[in-house]
Structure 1
Amino acid sequence: MSSTLTVPAQVKFDEAIELTQTFLIQLKKNELTSSQIQDFVAALVQTANGARGFFVTYLTAADPICDEPRSEIIAALQANPGIAADLLVKNIAMSTAQKLYHQRRNDSDMMASSATVATRTTNIIHQLNLPQIQEMCRDLVATIQTGTGTYGEFLTRWGYDEEQKNAIAQVVSELGV
């Protein structure tokens, strides 16, 4: 099997999105070997732009193929835990806050989309079982509880209100990490 997936060393965010879209098409058609899957994801998540593009596409894709990540994807993320861990913790926070936001606006479609992202992110976090994620989750909850900490800038930048922050803290605590 040949793959057209080549990740540039300095991949741009929009390139990473396009590459991940192509990857998902090839994955669904069973056009990739196990090693091609793992190599592609590992190469993509080595940079912040690549990892961001991968997760924004993978977690939000309408395709149910993303509901249960293949072992090769998990292995690739475990091999590059730093950037992936940070983005996964932030994704669980953002999707939880957005779900509440959409619920308030009675937007059931967007609420369901945010719930899908939260479920997929939670699933990946559980499968990765990385100490970095456990530490980051504790830091996020501590920042919400005390009002200061590692995630202060992140929470402020997105303007989450108290109800959203409490929902984030509850979901992150329930991860059991």
Structure 2
Amino acid sequence: MNLIATKDISFESAIALTQEFINQLPTLDEDKQEEIVASLVQSANGSRGFFVTYLTHESAIVDNPSIGIIKGLKSAPETVSELLVKNIAMSTAMKITHLRNNDLEMAESSQKVTQRTKKIVELCQLEQVKNKISQMQKTIIDNKGEYREFLLRWGYDDEQKQAILESVQG
């Protein structure tokens, strides 16, 4: 399987390519990892497919992203930063939903996604992420702003929004 994504990759194909990428990760050098990740994050479908697969993968290999992966992510700072902030928000809110449903396994899984996403944020050090986190905080505090539609679309309640606020702050 060719691990280089095209700009017109489908979401489903991006998931499959990312799965194969993770499987081959131990055998790929940093430059190849960067090339593959950069090809995925050049499009919305590729980026979404990458993150949904990478952040939820059962293998601990994804807990510590390599320099190549980070460089690949940094090649598309706008798209990547948007998805990173939204992933922190969604996984944080879903942890609360799972706890309410007494589904501790899924709550733990959501927490793992939050931790992995925060680690990528920390390693990427993208100014765009800082800006988007600030916009998310402002939207939650003021109940208006850049992320209002996002928060409404997912129907987050006050407890979830407070958790998101705390999660993006620290």
User: TM-score range, shorter-chain basis?
Assistant: over 0.9
120, 127, 134: which is aligned to 2:130?
Answer: 134
- The separation in 1 between residues aligned to 2:74 and 2:66, in whole angstroms, is 13
Letter in structure 1 aligned against 2:12:
D
Structure 1 equivalent of residue 43 of structure 2: 47
Structure 1 equivalent of residue 6 of structure 2: 8
Structure 1 equivalent of residue 19 of structure 2: 21
Structure 2 equivalent of residue 124 of structure 1: 120
> Alignment partner of 1:145: what SS?
helix
**How far apart are residue 6 of structure 1 and its match?**
2.6
> Alignment partner of 1:154: what SS?
helix
Letter in structure 1 aligned against 2:98:
H
**How far apart are residue 36 of structure 1 and its match?**
1.1
- The separation in 2 between residues aligned to 1:57 and 1:35, in whole angstroms, is 21
- The separation in 2 between residues aligned to 1:104 and 1:33, in whole angstroms, is 43
- The separation in 2 between residues aligned to 1:95 and 1:113, in whole angstroms, is 9
Structure 1 equivalent of residue 34 of structure 2: 38
Could you tell me the TM-score, scaled by structure 1's length? 0.94
Letter in structure 2 aligned against 1:82:
E
In structure 1, stretches of 5+ residues that fail to align are none
Structure 2 equivalent of residue 111 of structure 1: 107
Could you tell me the TM-score, scaled by structure 2's length? 0.97
Letter in structure 2 aligned against 1:126:
E
- The separation in 1 between residues aligned to 2:30 and 2:67, in whole angstroms, is 9
- The separation in 2 between residues aligned to 1:120 and 1:168, in whole angstroms, is 15
Matches within 5 A, 1:25-174: 25-27=23-25, 30-174=26-170
How many residues are matched? 170
> Alignment partner of 1:46: what SS?
coil
Letter in structure 1 aligned against 2:17:
L
Consecutive aligned runs of 4 or more in structure 1 exceeding 6 Å deviation: none
Q: 1:4 to 1:31 in 2, by over 3 A?
A: farther
Identity level (%): 46
- The separation in 2 between residues aligned to 1:6 and 1:90, in whole angstroms, is 25
Letter in structure 2 aligned against 1:103:
L
